[in-house]
Structure 1
């Protein structure tokens, strides 16, 4: 197994890492979006800059990687994307408002990648540690109009 350095908050790092994997392995079969950070405290106690950093990792990192990998999955005829969420994305908790909001955004991506017409090459799945089972959003085989 080879490790690839990656910073999900940096678009160049994401592109370089994905290209490196494809160059070494010839393909990508699975993407597990698992990067995450947290902020503990009431929402009003955190700065906007802290909230932006949180969302940049927890949500926009997932978006960057998925946008970079998905065309390869489509081109090769299949693959899987797994987004690791949190129960706090479903049920907010005290002193975790911003973290909960970022994980709620992750939950919202479950169907996002299925909205493009003809998007049939891979499945997208969301999971969190206390979910009884993963929630899948299979890619439609027919275009959505």
Structure 2
């Protein structure tokens, strides 16, 4: 008795199929990768905004505790907040009011920190303030 051998197609993918898939993945990557660059810029904006809020939190808490911050432009006041100050008197005179923001990250925060005519600092979430802090 003779048995018939059935021709079987080898399992797996052909070279053409693999090349087509690699081509499709390459096309998708060329579309997506250039568009990912904006994420780094957005992350920097969020970091700068968070740092500005941190500086202003230390500033306003210090004002409420009786700290006398120096007069001047935004840059001078922000520098004082980063260095830290103590109130001259009162129950909180032993506490240091200081921002934990690193000095090298401060320049980006000036877009979000403004100064009122009264000399007080304020936060502007739109980021449309003088980038030099003046």
TM-score normalised by length of structure 2: 0.31
More strand, by proportion:
1
Which protein shows a greater Rg? Answer: 2
TM-score normalised by length of structure 1: 0.29
